[in-house]
Amino acid sequence: MKILLIIPAYNEESNILYVINSINEYKKKNKELNLDYVVINDCSTDNTGKILDENNIIHIDLVHNLGIGGAVQTGYKYSYYKNYDIAIQYDGDGQHDINYLKNIIQPIIDNNADFVIGSRFIDNVSSFKTSFSRRLGINILSFFIKLVCGKKIYDTTSGFRAANKDIIKLFANDYPIEYPEPITSVEVIKRKFRLKEVAVNMKSRVAGKSSIHSWKSVYYMINVCLSILITGSRRYK
Amino acid sequence: MSYSLVLLMSIFTFILFMTVIYLLRKRKIPVKYALIWIFSIIFILLLLLVPNLMENIADLLGFELLSNMVLCLFLGLLMFISIALTVMIASQKKKTTILIQEISILKQIINDIDNNKL
């Protein structure tokens, strides 16, 4: 099975090499996996592009900044064109633990799921420490998703996710540009695909700032909740 | 409605009409987008030129002042046009995103081919 790691990166000059090195080490240890990666450089204004060039890391430079949704969708388009069997979203900031890769793709290999979310909040595997307000936000989103599609998702904003061929095709053609993580979950369930959550470990950020700032979070929450309700109210064939 | 007001609005509508025609002739906007303006202008002209039409409608709808109805009318018209514009912008943005993604992927593939040849 051809597997592709999609690594969106925006101004990650201090993290990206660490991320790529950990993936290369993992590849050496697990030679049976047919694992490739592609970094999507979302028009970074720091040295991310230069680092990617100098170290011969396979990457796509977006010609304009698209934001996380547009960057990740580029990765799905790439995996669709290159005919990958599994695509995995993997953050470029060092938060995700590559050693959980097999956990996250196993349900797809066993054909038990079409789409797998790596979750911080089940089984207590994760050492991830998160603030009360962030936890509250994630629970609210969880409630809204349960409301519109009747399935509980514990980690609604996880960016560590694996998709099979059907989902790759779906996302290559249509991917929400705003608030992609919770919205895609709703869409996947509404389209009657099998979604599964598995426990993964996530570290706190190695360096740099997260893209979600506290003063914007109320506005963010209103936006996402409304998006979930709208997405949930659409009819799917 | 006073004659001076009718005159003022007629002049205003005429300028609006000429502007739209000018933009069309200079190929600045396609007919598709100009139609909404042309229909609006015809609507306003109709109201202006048929005597007592506006007064009767205002009476019928319960407006105390004719000017209130005129304001409401324009406000509604503008809101409708801005919603139409929002839809157009959203569709433009979608297309731009697709173009950026496809071009960026193509550049990567071309780079790949170049590197393999060297």
CATH number (domain holding residue A192)? 3.90.550.10
DSSP A201: -
Range from A24-33, A126-135, B51-60 carrying the lowest mean pLDDT = A126-135
- Answer for the pair A41, A9: CB distance below 8 angstroms, yes or no: yes
- Answer for the pair B66, B55: CB distance below 8 angstroms, yes or no: yes
pTM as predicted: 0.83
Q: Is the pLDDT of residue B117 over 70?
A: no
A61-115 tens-digit pLDDT? 999 999 999 999 999 999 999 999 999 999 988 889 999 999 999 999 999 999 9
Average pLDDT, chain A: 89
Is residue B110 situated within a structural domain?
Answer: no
What is the C-alpha to C-alpha distance for residues A162 and A159, in angstroms, rounded to an integer? Answer: 10
Average pLDDT over residues A27-56: 93
A183-213 tens-digit pLDDT? 999 999 999 999 999 999 887 655 555 555 5
Average pLDDT over residues A166-174: 95
Is residue B96 situated within a structural domain?
Answer: no
What is the C-alpha to C-alpha distance for residues A169 and A193, in angstroms, rounded to an integer? Answer: 13
**C-beta atoms of B100 and A78 within 8 A:** no
Q: Is the pLDDT of residue A174 over 80?
A: yes
- Answer for the pair A172, A186: CB distance below 8 angstroms, yes or no: no
Angle at B94 (CA atoms; ends A58, A67), nearest 5 degrees: 45
Chain B residues at the A interface, defined by Cβ less than 8 Å, are 96-97, 100-105, 107-108
What residue type is assigned to position B60 of the chain? L
> How are strands ordered across the β-sheet holding A2-9?
A59-61, A34-41, A2-9, A86-89, A161-163, A115-119, A195-199
What is the C-alpha to C-alpha distance for residues B37 and B19, in angstroms, rounded to an integer? Answer: 10
The whole-number pLDDT of residue A128 equals 62
Q: Is the pLDDT of residue A117 over 70?
A: yes
How many structural domains comprise chain A? Answer: 1
Is residue B36 situated within a structural domain?
Answer: yes
The whole-number pLDDT of residue B104 equals 95
Q: Is the pLDDT of residue A214 over 70?
A: no
The whole-number pLDDT of residue A115 equals 96
Residue B32: domain span: 3-85
What is the C-alpha to C-alpha distance for residues B70 and A149, in angstroms, rounded to an integer? Answer: 46
Q: Nearest-CA distance from B105 to chain A in Å?
A: 6
Average pLDDT, chain B: 87
Q: Nearest-CA distance from A64 to chain B in Å?
A: 7
Contacts B103 to A, Cβ<8 Å? 63
The whole-number pLDDT of residue A99 equals 92
Average pLDDT over residues A158-180: 92
Read off the pLDDT band of A36 (50, 70, 90).
Answer: very high
Residue from B51, B40, B53 nearest B13 by CA: B40
Mutate to test the interface with B, among A60, A78, A84 (most CBs of B within 10 A): A60
Is residue B35 situated within a structural domain?
Answer: yes
How many structural domains comprise chain B? Answer: 1
**C-beta atoms of A61 and B104 within 8 A:** yes
Q: Which two tokens stand for residue A160?
A: 């560590």
The whole-number pLDDT of residue A49 equals 92
| Region class of A119: left (phi > 0), else alpha (psi between -120 and 50), else beta | beta
**C-beta atoms of A60 and B97 within 8 A:** no
Nearest to B105 among A66, A81, A177 (CB): A81
What is the C-alpha to C-alpha distance for residues A119 and B51, in angstroms, rounded to an integer? Answer: 71
Is residue B107 situated within a structural domain?
Answer: no
Is residue B108 situated within a structural domain?
Answer: no
What is the C-alpha to C-alpha distance for residues A79 and A35, in angstroms, rounded to an integer? Answer: 12
B40-91 tens-digit pLDDT? 888 888 888 887 888 888 889 988 887 888 889 889 888 988 998 899 999 9
What is the C-alpha to C-alpha distance for residues A155 and A195, in angstroms, rounded to an integer? Answer: 13
Residue A56: domain span: 2-233
- Answer for the pair A71, A62: CB distance below 8 angstroms, yes or no: yes
- Answer for the pair A92, A7: CB distance below 8 angstroms, yes or no: yes
Q: Is the pLDDT of residue A39 over 70?
A: yes
